[in-house]
């Protein structure tokens, strides 16, 4: 992935391939779920100060997965917005039981 002008449709298969280890994906799901919980709590409590914990929670789980399990560099460093959107899309694909199919498609594309 060297072209920074790629679109999201091209990026997502790359993203899924960078998350081929199920433990890494689990850590991403935990982190993303905690982020959603923090955002919900901040809205419920009316205290925006809690939003500072969201990136810490999300990135700590994800980066542990990348550096220690997957042994690759997080896509966040090169593609921060696409990576963020992909975290939520991957979680959506998990809860809607589409993730195995999406991973298989991604492997066939790259």
Q: What is the residue extent of each domain of the chain?
A: 31-109
pLDDT of residue 104: 96
* pLDDT above 70 coverage of the chain, percent: 96
Q: In this structure, are residues 15 and 74 in contact, taking their beta carbons and an 8 Å threshold?
A: no
DSSP structural state of residue 21: S
8, pLDDT greater than 60? yes
pLDDT of residue 6: 84
* Torsion from C-alpha of 9, 14, 18, 21, nearest 10 degrees: 70
DSSP structural state of residue 47: -
What is this structure's pTM?
0.87
Per-residue pLDDT of 61-100, as tens digits, reads 999 999 999 999 998 888 999 999 999 999 999 999 999 9
């Amino acid at each position: 992935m060297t072209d920074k002008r790629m679109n999201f449709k091209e990026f997502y298969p790359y993203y899924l391939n960078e998350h081929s280890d199920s433990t890494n994906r689990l850590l991403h799901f935990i982190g993303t779920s905690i982020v959603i919980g923090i955002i919900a709590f901040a809205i419920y409590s009316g205290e925006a100060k809690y939003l500072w914990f969201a990136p810490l929670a999300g990135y700590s789980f994800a980066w542990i997965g990348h550096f220690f399990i997957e042994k690759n560099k997080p896509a966040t460093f090169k593609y921060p917005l696409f990576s963020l959107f992909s975290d939520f899309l991957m979680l959506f694909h998990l809860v809607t039981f589409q993730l195995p199919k999406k991973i298989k498609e991604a492997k066939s594309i790259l």
